[in-house]
Homo-oligomer: A and B are copies of this chain.
Amino acid sequence: MIQAGVIGATGYAGNELVRLLMQHPEVELKTVTSQRYIGKHFCDVYENYREINSLVCEEEDIEKMAEQCDVVFLALPHGVAAKKITKEILKKTVIIDFGADFRLQNADDYEKWYGLKHEGKELLKEAVYGLCELNREKIKNARLIANPGCYTTCSILSLTPLLAEGLAEKNSIIIDAKSGVSGAGRGLVTGSLYCEANESIKAYKVASHRHTPEIEEQLSYVSKQKITLSFTPHLTPMNRGILATCYATVKEGVTEKKVRDAYEKWFGKEYFVRITKEGVFPETRWVKGSNFLDIGFMVDERTNRIIVIGAIDNLVKGAAGQAVQNMNIIFGLEESTGLCHPPIFPG
């Protein structure tokens, strides 16, 4: 059994990870930590675990956890992990970090978009960007996984075949993304109150969201050219889900058939990526509670554009599920182990 620990388990992503690990046949969840709830039973913080989870929230002690655990998941605000993780720790345990600190290979981009000095630059080379479908080989031997953001997972994978196969104009990309409110976390801010988020939709961080450079960096890798794009996140009145509606100008001669071939080539054999039939488009309800990414697309000859739409559950494929998928790869398990739950509907 893999011994696992979760630092920052009482946020929504940490909690979702606990739910998945509890159902994982090869994992023993040993330790959960929390800043706010030290000493409290986890099942008193999240009462869904009443009688089925007896863990107590501990104070974080990453050194000790590195000794005791085969893998430690970090679900912390950005800037914190970069200070905590050291080469010593990575010798003892595998770290899967939900935060942003090791996602951008370009530390300058990090410092510009996050407004923070990067305190763990020396580990950047060691970090592997844990987008499983693209980086599986590197992940196998990684000790430090930068688990991708929710918007980014959905956006990058939805656009990869298009850009990798050179089907779209590189500077034409616009991603209009919609997220459920759990993406904002469990922090106490007015905008996350029920009466504020309910019955309304809004864009936020227009042209300034921090997932932008992460998407650009990864899409630049897959397309082997520098990609600059527009990304607009929206807060949508639902608990879970991300829908990314992506627009790009297609190159001359690009047909729906060619696009489908590209997506089949890249993802036809991927368990967690499901390409919809022609004329059918993803909806977040069809992936809720699961690790699936659904992708659909349409080439619009009137405008010479393609519209690619991706849908994930932000807390699963966009956070905890992908983290487990990374763990499975690293520990040599079947990649879908513990992640085969069908989506729940109506959820």
Q: Which residues from chain B contact A243 at a C-beta distance below 8 Å?
A: 201-203, 234
For A281-295 the 0/1 string (1 means CB < 8 A from B) is: 111111111101010
- Chain B residue, CB-CB nearest to A281: B203
Q: How many copies are assembled?
A: 4
- Please give the distance in Å from A75's CB to the nearest CB on chain B: 15
Contact between chains at B286 and A48 (CB < 8 Å): yes
User: Which of A22, A49, A243, A245 has the most CB atoms of chain B within a 10 A radius of its CB?
Assistant: A245
Q: Which residues from chain B contact A238 at a C-beta distance below 8 Å?
A: 198-201, 237
The CA of A343 and the CA of B22, in the complex, are separated in Å by 11
What bracket does the count of chain A residues touching chain B fall in? 35 or more
Q: Which residues from chain B contact A49 at a C-beta distance below 8 Å?
A: 342
Contact between chains at A195 and B303 (CB < 8 Å): no
Contact between chains at A228 and B303 (CB < 8 Å): yes
The CA of A202 and the CA of B284, in the complex, are separated in Å by 7
The CA of A300 and the CA of B203, in the complex, are separated in Å by 15
Q: Of B176, B199, B202, B309, which one neighbours A199 at CB under 8 angstroms? A: B199
Known: A195-B182, A195-B186, A238-B200. A207 touches B298 (CB 8 A): yes
- Chain B residue, CB-CB nearest to A294: B50
The CA of A167 and the CA of B289, in the complex, are separated in Å by 42
Contact between chains at A342 and B48 (CB < 8 Å): yes
Q: Which residues from chain B contact A188 at a C-beta distance below 8 Å?
A: 188-190, 193
Contact between chains at A198 and B201 (CB < 8 Å): no
User: Which of A46, A189, A195, A232 has the most CB atoms of chain B within a 10 A radius of its CB?
Assistant: A195
The CA of A280 and the CA of B78, in the complex, are separated in Å by 25
- Chain B residue, CB-CB nearest to A235: B283
The CA of A282 and the CA of B232, in the complex, are separated in Å by 14
Determine whether A52 belongs to the interface, using a CB cutoff of 8 Å to chain B.
yes
Determine whether A85 belongs to the interface, using a CB cutoff of 8 Å to chain B.
no
Determine whether A206 belongs to the interface, using a CB cutoff of 8 Å to chain B.
yes
Determine whether A23 belongs to the interface, using a CB cutoff of 8 Å to chain B.
yes
Contact between chains at B302 and A201 (CB < 8 Å): no
Contact between chains at B19 and A230 (CB < 8 Å): no
Contact between chains at A241 and B207 (CB < 8 Å): no
Q: Which residues from chain B contact A52 at a C-beta distance below 8 Å?
A: 342
- Chain B residue, CB-CB nearest to A272: B51
- Please give the distance in Å from A215's CB to the nearest CB on chain B: 13
CB-CB contacts below 8 Å: A292-316 with B: 292, 294, 298, 300, 302-303, 305, 307, 309
Contact between chains at B12 and A289 (CB < 8 Å): no
Q: Which residues from chain B contact A283 at a C-beta distance below 8 Å?
A: 47, 200-202
Contact between chains at B232 and A285 (CB < 8 Å): no
